[in-house]
Structure 1
């Protein structure tokens, strides 16, 4: 569910504060607070501009469009309240009083929503009536609501509006005239298709929890809404599907020529396109990356399309909406010659806080070819040693210890959930299962160092997090310390040799963690094991010492780890998860020898 909590609950204050912030992060722009206009300072224009491109609409779509004001993009933006069009008076003030005096004309880029079209239209006509040269481009790119349902209203405006503003702003910066700018804007609209999807509704600051609940109930659990608009409007259908299924449905709405209700732009295989993947505002960068990968994969395999440019990120949001839009722009010929193609206009530099810094055109155009990510395996292959072990004995001991770790996973997870983040048991189990799988596929040798190298390789690829790092450091050091005791002739790896190597590995581990016995960590099990093995040479006695150390962590005040800064008193009732997991392995290891 979208969060019904906000740092600023007053929607008026939220809008004004947000607009003011742009003047703080871009010193070349000014804010007319009364009319909610962000506009470029006259001194920021290095050369006379023939055309001033403006845009605007309801707030809540940040960074569009106030964040697009700057050199190479918009001359000004007019903001309304959240999800509501600015008034005609606001727009009129912008056109008549907030544009550079040297501008020979103004172009308004407007999303196709009734309020925006009417209010911008009234202001445009008023400006014309006093002798100003003004044109307006209405952007309708949404295909989620098809021809039959949209009727005379036409397609709604979606994230494609950002691309139209970019094209026209770049042209204006190049000194192109008003008619040419308007024509390219209309050409772009005719070659644009967009569709959105969201997992739930957004919550508007100032609305009550009850209103938020009502909004959420419009889209039940487990469903995604296809064709959702940027103001919380319903889409064309609700689906229960996975990401590949959702992307497949969205791309079909954008590109299937047989869908006569939505086939607004005919795009053939291998045609030049630009792809924009826009975050509604509440989708994590991690998930947006996964969405991007899936979209590009299906474009290539299903439609034989490889975008010339891929833009992904926040361009035209919907407050905290957990969704995204896909926009495809067919790169049509502008007819304006070199330097003014659609691709060159998209690539043109801008200085606006809301337009993400893009990859340079030279990087896109360069042919990097195909290359394998090769590595020299010989550098990673350990050398044989003369320290010998009984392979079957070592295998049996390892199996016994690893199975105990797996069996203890639920208890270890329970302990770690109470005092940590709950991943310790699963991490240890994953590592144990990885080593067991390795033992099933490969027989151990009689070389202690080579065997340790095999085990370390599995740990490094199966265990992550803090435990994975600690185990990898310790076991890598153990392999190194064993090699330090290697002699010129074959000799058995005795308990004394193992104890000495383990003791040196403990000292190596201390370089990377301050943990000591008494801090409530796995060191409370590891240190007693090593010390007892070094003193007695008896593995079972050492394992018993490790278990006692782990048991003693119950009620021990934590000095390291998540519990220290999260707080709570749950640690009083349970032992340390990492110490328990290690003691289970060491107990099983001793039993299997």
Structure 2
């Protein structure tokens, strides 16, 4: 796992805030105090007054906190240095920026530094005649009740839900005590557990407390502090979720902070700690949902997934569950309320939209039954002969696979040989099951094209499929009554011309075209299939001395491509594989 980072002196917070405002109209920055506020919430904006919301904390948790300033969410934030609370002066600056006659709610995560600085700012605001109230968010369940009895739970993912839901409550015109009640209810009825494969990397600092290559932690915070459970070996996401859910659901007394019943309206938030790919996070979200439904009979009323409150580039995720039924009757309504806050990266959906998922099933549709052309082409073929030729080509591919794979390990991503074998395996199964329509020449080739596309994938699979699809059309349009060498000769040129519409590869570019073009050219010149195969093989061998201009090999250092100079050079694996396929097929045909 890489911990490389750009060089930095760590002074990136203020420029970040400016960049956020530059891309989100409606925000104003007090650069000196590292404060961002909603321009429309300023006392001088001329807008009707409402309860304003101020939050903040250490930076490094983006999009929290500044990303949640917007209509229907926060009105202002004060940003500290990375993982450090903002000063009282900064917080007071944020309070003054959005001072309202209806009062201001201060939302703070339950960390000692934040509580002290935000609490002091609140007291100074009260002394200055401002109407403020403070709510501390604590939703972490990794530390049990006994151990955490004095410090309470850390503020994690539920902080975001408090920002969003209490912000919507304020937008609905609720008074300060009512908005504060909503915020406290959301926090009190939320539970979060997080896990990570490693600690994050702080800009301008060396990595510290790095886990071993086969270790992970459950109970991670958002300030690079260690988790409560260190384990190995590395789990799959389903295995990890199986360990996390009992903790967040409070299946033992010491971690039972919030009760979750199947009949309750539950909100699920799957939070990226900063370093997970969107693909893995979406997968984790589905695994979590499936286990909640299957193992606990809990169908989340709302599900959101994304990077909401991060630990810089922490390679992990958190699970937050909020019991909206216990928090209050309007919580779901406030959750659904639209916001302009950039950190709430969810598209607006009405309550009616969510009803589709009420039974816990994602809407699905059956696959396309068939995209095949069912009308007979009129070009007959002998099924057994066609199958014999095809199987011989597949056998030849299987024979050269180790060498092709080795070539592609140097020149590409190492999957060329196995990809060809995978296509051959599926075709062999189709022949065995008699699902290829080989008695109709055009239909048979068309069926092969579909199987190749599904089973091979990648660039080579696409090229083969395009060529074969066009070849099927060429055979159909030939006007012949049965498949002959002449039929194939005419169709092969049609297919190559079609292929060239979709690829820049040409002879000399060191691709499979260096085998295919000579094969087709030889047929067009009136030469027999064996001579055409010799031309294809010669073309493939010639790639040993070619410079790669397109494809993956074009990105490989020339030094790597010289590894097989004693063999005459490194050939293009795709060209070698195609030549082997053609050789096996032609020899089996008896030409």
Hey, what does 1:207 align to over in structure 2?
205
Residue 98 of structure 1 pairs with residue 97 of structure 2 = yes
Q: CA deviation at 1:26?
A: 2.0
CA offset at residue 377 of structure 1? 4.1
Is the aligned partner of 1:508 residue 2:498? yes
Matched-pair contact (CA < 8 Å) for 1:2–1:202: no
Pick aligned residue for 2:289 from 283, 296, 303: 296
2:87 is the alignment partner of 1:126: no
C-alpha contact 1:167 1:185 (8 A) present in aligned 2: yes
Residues 73 and 339 of structure 2 are in contact (CA less than 8 Å); yes or no, is this contact kept in structure 1? Answer: yes
Matched, 1:354 2:343: yes
- Partner SS, residue 265 of structure 1: coil
| Selected match of 1:538 from 515, 528, 537 | 528
Checking the alignment, whether the CA contact within 8 Å between 1:283 and 1:322 is kept in structure 2 is yes
Alpha-carbon separation, structure 2, partners of 1:462 and 1:196: 38
Does the residue aligned with 2:106 lie in a helix, a strand or coil?
Answer: strand
8 Å contact kept, 1:73–1:169: yes
TM-score (normalised: structure 2): 0.92
Q: Is the 8 A contact 2:453 2:461 kept in 1?
A: yes
Deviations along 1:213-250, one digit per CA (max 9) or x if unpaired, are x421xx21222211111111111212332211111111
Greater Cα shift, 74-83 or 30-39: 30-39
Question: 1:498 Cα shift?
Answer: 1.1
SS in structure 2 opposite 1:152? Answer: coil
Alpha-carbon distance change, 46 to 252 in structure 1, aligned in 2, over 3 angstroms? farther
Cα offset for 1:345? 0.8
SS at match of 2:32: coil
Q: Contact 2:36/2:94 (CA < 8 Å) preserved in 1?
A: no
Structure 1: which 5+ residue stretches go unaligned? Answer: none
Q: Deviations over 1:542-569 (max 9, x none)?
A: 2121111100011112232234355534
Q: Is the 8 A contact 2:41 2:52 kept in 1?
A: no
2:106 corresponds to which residue? 108
User: Match for residue 589 of structure 1?
Assistant: 585
Residues 496 and 534 of structure 1 are in contact (CA less than 8 Å); yes or no, is this contact kept in structure 2? no
Question: Runs of at least 4 residues of structure 1 off by over 6 A?
Answer: 368-372
Counterpart for residue 174 of structure 1: 172
Counting only pairs closer than 5 Å after superposition, residues 95-244 of structure 1 correspond to structure 2 as 95=95, 97-100=96-99, 102-208=100-206, 212=207, 214-216=208-210, 219-239=211-231, 240=233, 241-244=235-238
Residue 260 of structure 1 aligns with which residue? Answer: 253
Indicate the residue corresponding to 2:565 in structure 1. Answer: none
- Output the CA distance in 1 between the equivalents of 2:189 and 2:46: 32
More relative contact order in 1 or in 2 (CA 8 Å, sep 6+)? 1
Match of 1:479 in 2: 472
Structure 1: how far apart are the matches of 2:348 and 2:370?
36
Deviation at residue 168 of structure 1 after TM alignment: 1.4
The residue matched to 1:20 in structure 2 has which SS?
helix
Are the aligned partners of 2:41 and 2:75 in contact in 1 as well (CA < 8 Å)? Answer: no
Question: Residue 88 of structure 2 contacts residue 121 of structure 2 at CA under 8 Å; is this kept in 1?
Answer: yes
Q: Is 1:389 aligned with 2:378?
A: no
CA shift, 1:142, in A, is 0.6
Q: How far apart, in 1, do the equivalents of 2:83 and 2:368 lie?
A: 57
Aligned to 1:76: 76
Per the TM alignment, residue 162 of structure 1 is displaced from its structure 2 partner at its CA by 0.5
1:306 aligns with 2:305: no
Q: Secondary structure at the match of 2:47?
A: coil
2:519 alignment partner, one of 529, 554, 565:
529
What are the equivalent positions in structure 2 for 1:36-55 lying under 5 Å apart? 36-42=34-40, 47-55=47-55
Structure 2 gap segments, 5+ residues each: 563-568
Cα gap change, 1:260 to 1:47, in 2 (>3 Å): same
Offset at residue 295 of structure 1 (A) = 0.7
1:322 to 315, 323, 329: 315
* Aligned residue pairs, count: 575
Alpha-carbon distance in 1 for matches of 2:463, 2:354: 44
Q: Which shifted more, 360-369 or 32-41?
A: 360-369
Aligned partner of 1:87 in structure 2 is 87
Asked if the contact 1:2–1:320 (Cα under 8 Å) also holds between the matched residues in 2, the reply is no
Partner of 1:520: 510
Distance change (3 Å), C-alpha of 1:361 and 1:419 = same
